[in-house]
Structure 1
Amino acid sequence: MALKETNATTAEQMHEVAKYCIIDALSYQRLMVKHNAINKYREVASVAFLSLFDAHYFAGGMKVCNLLSASTWQRGILTSMISSQQIETGKFPGAYVFPPVKGLENRRPVITGLDFASLYPSLIMTYNLSLDKIILSQEHAVSVEKSDKRLHKIEFLFNNNPQRAWSVRHNNIPKEKGLYINVLEYLSAKRNELKRRLAPLKAKKEDMDLVISSMGKGLSLSEAIEQVLANAEKEKHS
């Protein structure tokens, strides 16, 4: 219900609420700028043939489909992006996660950390898991195997029904690699090239972050730069 009349206390409270609403809105914008989010979306949109809206609001599935469609278009093949009407309701089996055992591990050697960020792409590239290299019938698999092709057998349960398929191994022969593998290798090469170019800028970025952090504590730009340089000089002689 709207207030017919307000007193000084109510007006002050409404002013405080409005103040924090503005602060929250500006904080979100500052965070987007600080983490360079918009430019990251622009780069993703450029690489994956997306609009800026789709790059922000849609998950990775659309990016993968667009990359694959763009790759087929370059080969003179037209693909449809219309979803199939046959929608599966079951779930594919996933990895079983064991509960952690708390405490320090002294019985075995030290276990180093593993980078699983590239685990799925590595498996896809190793076993040539691309739709154009997947065989669904055993008769076709036997025929392909007789032509001196190496196959990788795939078996799993889906909705309690056994599923079986085969992928044709590429043996590191470029023309035998599937469409999906070519796309992943292109992205991997692009990522490595970008990391190589950005490596010389790492130290400069760290210095810029220190300057920005110092400015957040009330220092001016010149004062922040002087402080960072002074700290760097101290570390050099320590």
Structure 2
Amino acid sequence: MEKTKLSVNINKIATLRNSRGGNVPDVLQAAIDCQRFGAEGITVHPRPDERHIRYSDVRAIRPIITTEFNIEGYPSEKFLQLVEEVRPHQVTLVPDPPDALTSNAGWDTQAHLDFLKEVIARIKATGARVSLFVETNEEDIKGAALAGADRIELYTEDYARGYNKDPENAVAPYAVCAAIAHSLGLGVNAGHDLNLDNLRYFVAQVPHLLEVSIGHALISDALYYGLENTIQMYLRQIALGHQDKQAQSSESTSVAD
């Protein structure tokens, strides 16, 4: 059974720094600390206006961490040149317009297939893995495979919205789409609005989940619990989710026997 890794998005730390100027909090130290506290990846999402993570941050972080470095962004020429310079382990492509407050939609991979093929080939030439941000749409997942992506990242806002009311129905489309992606040879990541309340259930119910990228909720929780403790709390929820998944698998095997 695949182990789900936790990648910590540190954008919000940069947002706090930028609100005052100077270098407090220290984004580079935060990346080092997240890694030291158990994070299995560091995610950054530099935007054209550099309102949180700056391009200079991306360049400075790459040589100081040994864990997976994941850069998210829209594949503009400037972004692609940054990827070619920095050579991260993973690049997650999102279809955000320049003024987007946060990522709020997945790729229409069919409409943008030729564009994505060209961009993905260019990124893969650097040695990076490529993941496409998608919604729970089978055709878009098929398009991700046709475009040459290595993984998809499932956009989980709908799951987070529906979790408190009806978790089973909220997670069902993600479980189905993860299985489809796996059948097409795609790895499965997930992110957006996952938190300490809904993460365990998501991990338990979604098969083949390789990585979750969590920023806003985790950094917000760190204000109360401290960064080290918070990362350990999220890792614990992932571990419990895997335990639940294994228990479900054992029960299914017993029933079948």
Which TM-score applies when normalising by structure 2? Answer: 0.23
**Larger CA Rg, structure 1 vs 2:** 1
Whose strand fraction is larger, Structure 1's or Structure 2's?
A: 2
